[in-house]
Structure 1
Amino acid sequence: MDLEVRHLRALCAIADTGSLHRAARQLGVAQPSLSTQLKRIEQELGGPLFRRERTGCRPTPLGLVVLGRARPVVAEMRALVAEARAAATDADGPQLRVGSTASRALAGWLRRLRARQREPVLQMDVSPNALLRMLAGGRLDVAFVHEVEGSPLRVPDGLTLRVLIEREPQFVSLPADHPAAGRQEVRLSDLAEDRWMIDPTVDGEWDAVHRMLRAAGLSPRVLHGDYHTAASLVATGEVVTVCQPTCQPRPEMAVRRIEGDPLGVRLLLAARTEGELDLVFPELWEAYAEVAREAPGYREWLDRVGV
């Protein structure tokens, strides 16, 4: 059995819904058919990907590794289909091809671009270096990326960069009932006994988080997985994880500053010319400022440092 995108899409659906029944309904297939497909995938990969529990399906450690690789592939395929359909129906010529790593500012940026009659086609990727290569190769017009502290991006020749935020501190996401969640600023030592989840596919993230933990004298247990899965596991008390300061807390999840701001990223907009940057940078800045001010912990941090 050769794994196909449809198999990866099925795994993501099971993880996202937490249930074979709900995943089957989302995918438009019968539950017995999805169960059989899952068994074949697990046989192909050599182990169980989900634990079947009374409350539903939860990824095993192997499942988390597979999902971490599957999600970017599924997202890439969705973007490819969306771009192809947009190109097929666009009667007004080429659209603005936007690349981006994950950001809460993205929705507001796209909305503002549309308001200026610049209909964007979006390409998401967890790898900023991959987006920069796509930009240099003419497959994107602009790319909004982040550079993890201590891991410089490999910027191809011919690209122009503009800094949106010189240093955005990274916060931590933890269960709402965690003892450290009662404080607005968390010490890393308060999280020494927790499992951490890191996405190893994000350029520089693995090394940066490990440097931060080692500098604090910590050697916690680490799981690999994408941050969509991490958010679900944080909510159930399984892990803590680094997150963007604009991340919105939920009833079951708290977002807190890390004492001393030991981890940061630089936010950059890239294009091939300054003129292309001028056309889209103001809207990106407005969108980022909007979500930054909507995040209570980050708003307090910005006020404190005078931004």
Structure 2
Amino acid sequence: MDLELRHLRVVCAIAETGSVTKAASTLGLAQPALTAQLQRIERTLGGPLFERDRRGARPTALGELVLARARVLLPAMKGLQDEAARLAGAGDAPRRYRIGGVNSPILGRLVHRLAAEQPQAQITTHASWSVDELAQLVAGARLDYALTGVCGDSTPSADYGLSWREVAVDPVMVLLPETHPLANRDEVDLADLRHEQWVAAPGDGCFGDCFAAACARSGFTPRKVYEADVRSCIDLVDAGEAVALCQATFRPVAGLVTRRLAGSPLRWRLMLGWHPESPAAPTADLVLETALVAYTDALAPHPAYLAWLLRNPAFGVRRPAPVLAAERVRSA
């Protein structure tokens, strides 16, 4: 039997989990099948790779040697595959846009404008609750762009080598039923919501450390937080069971109102990311400009918020868009 990369992944999985049974579960294999595969690998390499007993599986000296080589070869092969995928897409025609989004308020408008301006373009979208997942997909050449947001002054992780540009920054607002006692105010103090129950969609957003810190600064700890999909979040607010944080460009819904939080204690920065060495990089400026126009389109149904932006230039589109993440690291 010739040794293959999949065999090295088996060896690494057993070493990382410390058990053939756990490794089988991780790899989605039956335990007897993985045991038989390990025995074939050991015969090929000329000796046992693990000492196995009730306490689990521990690498032998030969096993340590194989693991040391595998931990170099597997990442190198993954990098080769990623680079090859990016290079293979370099000559794509018609132009391709594979865009991933996390709760993006402008994804629909961005796709609409790209499709209108380039009718022959191949445009696909991918939804995820995780910025890191989208960044991994872009780094692995399975997406071209990630359109997502980060809370406050934070930036997406630089671990995936992406370039990031800010599209716009908005204050996070609160979504209330129009019958709520605070719904007649232009803005609401966060402290006035201390007795409310909250609801949030899963994934990245302002309902983590930023929200807890803002509540602490206002002198309280938030009550129960429901987790639900976006449609169910709206339903829970509409039913009067909870209030929710929302983006400033949240599309108006009958029976609900959005209100600014006094002092803008939470901010949401909309970001566009891509890999600087991918075939998508040459068109990144075009996509960024289209995203900026899409954001401006999203303001049209919100004349009061648009007027507020004119009085508060620290929010909205801020030019020039700063260089972030991977490019900042390279220039340091």
TM-score, scaled relative to structure 2: 0.60
Who is 1:238 aligned against?
241
Tell me the SS of whatever aligns to 1:181: coil
Q: Deviations over 1:20-74 (max 9, x none)?
A: xxxxxxxxxxxxxxxxxxxxxxxxxxxxxxxxxxxxxxxxxxxxxxxxxxxxxxx
- Of 201, 204, 208, the residue aligned with 1:206 is 208
Equivalent AA in structure 2 for residue 290 of structure 1: D
Who is 2:196 aligned against?
194
Tell me, in whole angstroms, the C-alpha distance in 2 between the residues paired with 1:284 and 1:300.
Answer: 21
Q: Deviations over 1:262-299 (max 9, x none)?
A: 00122111112342312311211111111123223421
Task: Give yes or no for the alignment of 1:98 onto 2:70.
Answer: no
Alpha carbons of structure 1 residues 141 and 163: separation in structure 2 relative to 1, 3 Å:
same
Displacement of 1:145: 1.2
Who is 2:285 aligned against?
278
User: Could you say which structure has the larger radius of gyration?
Assistant: 2
Displacement of 1:224: 2.9
Runs of 4+ in 1 over 6 A off after TM superposition: 91-94
Conserved? CA contact 2:170–2:269, under 8 Å: yes
Equivalent AA in structure 2 for residue 234 of structure 1: V
Unmatched runs of 5 consecutive residues or more in structure 2: 1-91, 317-332
Tell me, in whole angstroms, the C-alpha distance in 1 between the residues paired with 2:160 and 2:185.
Answer: 45
Displacement of 1:123: 0.4
Alpha carbons of structure 1 residues 240 and 184: separation in structure 2 relative to 1, 3 Å:
same
Equivalent AA in structure 2 for residue 99 of structure 1: G
Equivalent AA in structure 2 for residue 206 of structure 1: G
Alpha carbons of structure 1 residues 113 and 304: separation in structure 2 relative to 1, 3 Å:
same
Structure 1 stretch displaced more, 279-288 or 255-264: 279-288
Structure 1 stretch displaced more, 268-277 or 239-248: 268-277
- Of 144, 148, 152, the residue aligned with 1:145 is 148
Equivalent AA in structure 1 for residue 241 of structure 2: E
Displacement of 1:228: 2.6
Tell me the SS of whatever aligns to 1:209: helix
Equivalent AA in structure 1 for residue 264 of structure 2: D
Alpha carbons of structure 1 residues 162 and 151: separation in structure 2 relative to 1, 3 Å:
closer
Alignment of 1:58-69 (within 5 A): none
Conserved? CA contact 1:257–1:297, under 8 Å: no
Task: Give yes or no for the alignment of 1:262 onto 2:300.
Answer: no
> What percentage of aligned pairs have identical amino acids?
30
Displacement of 1:99: 0.8
Who is 2:307 aligned against?
300
Structure 1 stretch displaced more, 200-209 or 114-123: 200-209
Who is 2:173 aligned against?
171
Tell me the SS of whatever aligns to 1:130: helix
Conserved? CA contact 2:194–2:223, under 8 Å: no
Displacement of 1:198: 2.9
Tell me the SS of whatever aligns to 2:283: helix
Conserved? CA contact 1:230–1:241, under 8 Å: yes
Q: Deviations over 1:152-194 (max 9, x none)?
A: 42133432111111x3211110111111100111111221211
CA RMSD of aligned residues (A): 2.1
Equivalent AA in structure 2 for residue 280 of structure 1: V
Conserved? CA contact 1:199–1:206, under 8 Å: no
Conserved? CA contact 2:177–2:238, under 8 Å: yes
Equivalent AA in structure 2 for residue 239 of structure 1: A
Structure in which a larger fraction of residues adopt helix: 1
